[in-house]
Amino acid sequence: MHTVVVGTSGTTAEDVIAVARGNARVELSAEALEALGRAREIVDALAAKPEPVYGVSTGFGALASRHISPELRAQLQRNIVRSHAAGMGPRVEREVVRALMFLRLKTVASGHTGVRPSVAQTMADLLNAGITPVVHEYGSLGCSGDLAPLSHCALALMGEGDAEGPDGVVRPAGELLAAHRIEPVELREKEGLALLNGTDGMLGMLVMALADLDTLYKSADITAALTLEALLGTEKVLAPELHAIRPHPGQAAAAANMAAVLKGSGLTGHFQEESAPRVQDAYSVRCAPQVAGAGRDTMAHAALVAFRELAAAVDNPVVLPDGRVESNGNFHGAPVAYVLDFLAIAAADLGSIAERRTDRLLDKNRSHGLPPFLAEDAGVDSGLMIAQYTQAALVSEMKRLAVPASADSIPSSAMQEDHVSMGWSAARKLRTAVDNLTRIIAIELYAATRAIELRHGLTPAPASQAAIAAVRAAGVQGPGPDRFLAPDLAAADAFVRAGALVAAVEPVTGPLA
């Protein structure tokens, strides 16, 4: 099994996905263990002094003015975890919780939190045992970190609360720890606070969304090319010299992908052969690279933010190399929240333009010779009429999901935490948007492949043929009389979601950008 080694200098997106989705094992490096030990010595020294130090010998948030005596400090750390584990609503997905736990371990291992090496090792042990704390949908405002979600994870380290075992069964966390011979953690000064103060949940969801969107943007380039073929459009708008004079890198990549899919097509370039020749394709076809390209450039910016955050040590207070323990505001989720919202906007627009192309394929007045709704016997058959309704409903929801969460802020903690990021909320709605975008692209794929097969006597591009063959092999049926449509759409969704569309095309086109 793949092993991810956690050091002091952060981690990579690839490692996050390996742990969250691939169940990779986690190990702490010798360097990290040494840094943890050094930082803990500093915290212990401060704890022994009579002067109050925030998070070490004081209360938290609006209660930070109270100095806590030594005999109450362990109770203080336990209490912050118990009281902050106040989430509600449905359970959060296992992969999100594993990413959350791993990213918190990444910050702990930096040596800036003052957590003991034994606590960090227990965090790794839970991940390696496949123990996943039950975390709920609601409870994070994205400032002072993802407090409630991280608290539910810290609660499991203490042997309290509920968790899911490797068998998928939810049991009391204490039972699971005992079954795997893991000793519950007895928290000491600062440790409870250090386990809660991070942007780890929203960051983990950002990393996974970027991976999913990378596949979806390539898939959308393929379906846009298939639709262009089905509509007998022109590939001339994809010429690299046209995109070079508007030098957005994402746009050039999208155009190059579409051109690669269309290479060798016998369906393109029929403008002048019709009784009413076209001068230009509709915007949804002609501007596909510009829209998909803008989304790609948005992803590039979001990936840069993620890269920086993956290298960060987010906690408050932090232990600095010179021995100081200083309060700060690095737990504020604004940098991550903004790009999560930006990605939802871009995804909504990509879904919107895909739906417009699908609608064009189904409208006999705009499809240039295709049967109404791609039906076998229009009037008797409805064809794909309602598939487009489903797609439109998904697009409408994506537009609602594109409303920024990060534009909102609700003060908390008796006005001490008076401006919050709502980054967790931005991440949760982006996950829904990514799911919906997958379904929207699947419906365009379903319509475009059927439309191409209805162009009798014309030969699609080799890459298009490969896509059609693969999607049919996956159980998505082609043209014919009306049938129960939902299973076909579900199969197309699973095909796109698994990255199978990109995998089917790339042996012909080469790697898509």
Q: What is the per-residue pLDDT for 494?
A: 98
Distance between CA atoms of residues 360 and 281, nearest Å: 11
**H-run or E-run covering 138:** strand 136-138
Residues 6+ apart with CB under 8 A from 115: 36, 39, 40, 108, 190, 191, 194, 195
Q: Is 18 exposed, middle or buried (0-12, 13-18, 19+ CB in 10 A)?
A: buried
- Non-local (6+) Cβ contacts of 484 within 8 A are none
Q: Is the pLDDT of residue 339 over 80?
A: yes
* Residues involved in catalysis: 54
How far apart are alpha carbons 268 and 270 in whole angstroms? 6
Tens-digit pLDDT profile for residues 414-439: 888 889 999 999 999 999 999 999 99
Residue 221: strand, helix, or coil:
helix
Percent of the chain exceeding pLDDT 70 equals 98
Per-residue pLDDT tens over the stretch 265-291:
999 987 655 555 678 899 999 999 999
Segment 310-330 mean pLDDT:
91
Alpha-carbon distance 406 to 432, whole Å? 17
> What does DSSP assign to residue 381?
B
DSSP SS3 for 162: strand
Residue among 122, 129, 133, 125 at smallest CA distance from 93: 133
* Under 8 Å between Cβ of 323 and 42: yes
User: Would you say residue 388 has pLDDT above 90?
Assistant: yes
pLDDT at 62: 65
How many residues are present in the chain?
A: 513
Choose the weakest-confidence range: 19-28, 324-333, 447-456: 324-333
Evaluated on CA atoms 360, 236, 458, 447, the torsion sign reads: negative
CA-closest candidate to residue 112, choices 43, 169, 210: 43
Residue 85, pLDDT above cutoff 90: yes
- CA 216 remoteness from chain centre: 12
Q: Give tens-digit pLDDT for 136-187.
A: 999 999 988 899 999 999 999 999 999 999 999 999 999 999 999 999 999 9
Q: How many angstroms separate the first and last alpha carbons of the chain?
A: 29
Give 101-132 as a 3 state SS string: HHHHHHHHCCCCCCCCHHHHHHHHHHHHHCCE
Query: Which among 195, 99, 108, 180 has a CA at the least distance from the CA of 150?
Result: 195
pLDDT digits over 87-98, tens only? 999 999 999 999
Q: Give the pLDDT confidence score for residue 98 in this predicted structure.
A: 98
Helices (H), 133-172: 147-157
Let me know the angle formed at the C-alpha of 367 by 363 and 373, rounded to the nearest 5 degrees: 40
Token representation of residue 56: 């070490």
439/423 Cα distance (integer angstroms) = 25
Alpha-carbon dihedral sign for residues 20, 23, 24, 26: positive
- State pLDDT tens for residues 6-27: 999 999 999 999 999 999 999 9
In 3D space, the residue among 434, 508, 500, 443 whose CA is nearest the CA of residue 207 turns out to be: 434
Q: What's the pTM value of the predicted model, to 2 decimals?
A: 0.96
Place of tokens 């915290």: 43
> Comparing 180 with 68, which gets the higher pLDDT?
180
d(CA 433, CA 90): 18
Cα 337 from chain centre: 12
Mean pLDDT in residue range 477-492: 98
